[in-house]
């Protein structure tokens, strides 16, 4: 395995990168360096930004309470007030900032856009490189719990032969990556950038993993099928058969479906009828969402209203119940979006996808490389095994987990890590 390209040191000064004498904004730059150089990166958010955030939360102009007793009108006022109280009075961004800075972080320019990524090499020999991609409304925060167990399995009850080198990039327009200043950054283009990134790091063999947009990007990597990519893993697979998609559009469940197929159909039907409001707006008019750039509570409520099961879990967390996520977990992710002002830039990925997509989000893509699938019961839909077998001719792993939802690595890191270890053993 080749050593990584030359790494240039960067210094973070008042939220900007200073490199080679040029001051550039860390989120808005599109072409800092026209080369394949890799620069070190460190997070240091100015205190005035954190003070401004708390002031804005405290000055929120609240609407009246919803006029129903459930969540059918949207994110409930009690949940948002509990979140706001903790965010303004107890939450400490510096804790997650320190955890981020304890990890090796880098920036490199690919196709004119700065790409931020975490890159942790394992101490174990023959570690398998893996690139893990988040989705919306997620971020690199989702994967932080799994980096240690994947790179250093012997410290977490695993075996040395299951070690990975882990690369976790921020999608363009998300987190600390640059914001594209021109159109065209859709999942296929991001997939090409990820292949460039892994080659730039010197890897001649690697695997890839993703859920949500991370799945779309990872499956597009598989479609490109570079010889270095030997297999992929997904926790939100694209497997819905054409006849099921037609039945969902017509609103009538087909006869003869197995129990797993009936469950998947009902989950998809519920999501398409009640859960697509955010996706429709971001697909059609992302720039209209000025409120999520101006109001932290507006941003938080938009992020919470992603899917019914995730929202229910988050609501329970802010009621004081113990779940796979904590209040800090949830606010780490939301605060990252706020501090980087990426509410609208991240939303544009939905618009970009609509411009070029040739099928539905869950339509099979006819992948021809090995694929592993992990099914978490509270995902948008739990893909039945026979759907996965048809969608992925080279299915090397399929497993249904007892617990977990859309943010699998974040919410159920132990299950997720074991799935990754098991999935890729056949291709090492």
SS3 label, residue 275:
coil
What token pair was written down for 381?
């839909």
Q: Known catalytic residue: 152?
A: no
Q: Known catalytic residue: 212?
A: yes
Q: Which residue out of 116, 119, 397, 406 is catalytically annotated?
A: 406
Q: Known catalytic residue: 265?
A: no
SS3 label, residue 92:
coil
DSSP 65: P
Q: Provide the H-helix boundaries in 225-323.
A: 242-250, 259-274, 277-284, 291-294, 296-304, 308-318
Q: Which residue out of 152, 162, 186, 212 is catalytically annotated?
A: 212
Total Cβ atoms within 10 A of residue 78: 13
What token pair was written down for 387?
């759907």
What token pair was written down for 252?
């009538």
Q: Provide the H-helix boundaries in 275-400.
A: 277-284, 291-294, 296-304, 308-318, 327-340, 343-356, 385-391
CA-CA distance, 117 to 43, in Å (whole number)? 12
Largest Cα–Cα distance in the chain?
67
Q: Half-sphere exposure (CA, 13 Å, Cβ side) for 254?
A: 15
CA-closest candidate to residue 299, choices 348, 329, 342? 342
CA-closest candidate to residue 329, choices 419, 210, 409, 275? 409
CA-CA distance, 177 to 117, in Å (whole number)? 8
Angle, in degrees to the nearest 10, between helices 308-318 and 327-340: 110
Edge to edge, the sheet with strand 11-13 lists 11-13, 16-19, 22-25
Residue tagged 């977490």 (tokens): 156
Q: Which residue out of 91, 350, 381, 392 is catalytically annotated?
A: 350
Query: Catalytic residue numbers?
Result: 212, 350, 406
């Amino acid at each position: 395995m080749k050593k990584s390209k030359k790494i240039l040191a960067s210094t973070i000064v008042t939220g900007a990168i200073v490199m080679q004498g040029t001051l550039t904004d860390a989120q808005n730059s599109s072409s800092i360096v026209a080369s394949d150089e890799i620069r070190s990166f460190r997070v240091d958010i100015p205190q005035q930004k954190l003070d401004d955030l708390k002031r804005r939360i405290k000055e929120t102009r609240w609407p009246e309470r919803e006029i129903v007793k459930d969540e059918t009108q949207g994110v409930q006022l009690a949940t948002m007030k509990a979140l706001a109280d903790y965010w303004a009075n107890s939450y400490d961004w510096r804790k997650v900032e320190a955890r981020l800075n304890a990890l090796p972080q880098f920036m490199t320019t690919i196709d004119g856009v700065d790409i931020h990524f975490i890159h942790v090499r394992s101490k174990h020999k023959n570690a398998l490189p893996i690139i893990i991609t988040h989705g919306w409304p997620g971020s690199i925060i989702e994967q932080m719990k799994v980096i240690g167990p994947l790179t250093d399995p012997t410290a977490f009850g695993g075996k040395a032969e299951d070690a990975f080198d882990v690369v976790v990039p921020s999608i363009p327009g998300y987190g600390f990556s640059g914001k594209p200043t021109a159109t065209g950054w859709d999942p296929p283009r991001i997939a090409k950038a990820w292949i460039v990134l892994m080659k730039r790091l010197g890897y001649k063999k690697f695997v890839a993993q993703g859920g949500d947009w991370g799945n779309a990007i990872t499956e597009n990597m598989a479609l490109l099928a570079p010889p270095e990519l030997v297999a992929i893993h997904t926790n939100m697979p694209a497997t819905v058969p054409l006849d099921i998609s037609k039945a969902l559009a017509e609103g009538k469940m087909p006869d003869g479906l197995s129990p797993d197929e009936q469950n998947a159909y009902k989950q998809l039907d519920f999501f398409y009828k009640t859960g697509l409001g955010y996706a429709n707006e971001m697909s059609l008019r992302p720039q209209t969402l000025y409120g999520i750039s101006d109001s932290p509570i507006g941003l938080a409520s938009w992020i919470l209203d992603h899917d019914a099961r995730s929202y229910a879990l988050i609501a329970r967390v802010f009621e004081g119940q113990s779940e796979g996520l904590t209040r800090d977990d949830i606010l780490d992710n939301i605060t990252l979006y706020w501090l980087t002002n990426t509410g609208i830039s991240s939303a544009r990925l939905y618009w970009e996808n609509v411009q070029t997509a040739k099928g539905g989000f869950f339509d099979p893509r006819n992948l021809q490389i090995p694929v592993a699938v992990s099914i978490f019961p509270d995902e948008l839909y739990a893909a039945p095994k026979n759907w996965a077998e048809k969608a992925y001719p080279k299915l090397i792993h399929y497993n249904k987990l007892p617990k977990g939802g859309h943010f699998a690595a974040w919410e159920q890191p132990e299950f997720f890590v074991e799935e990754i270890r098991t999935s890729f053993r056949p291709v090492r």
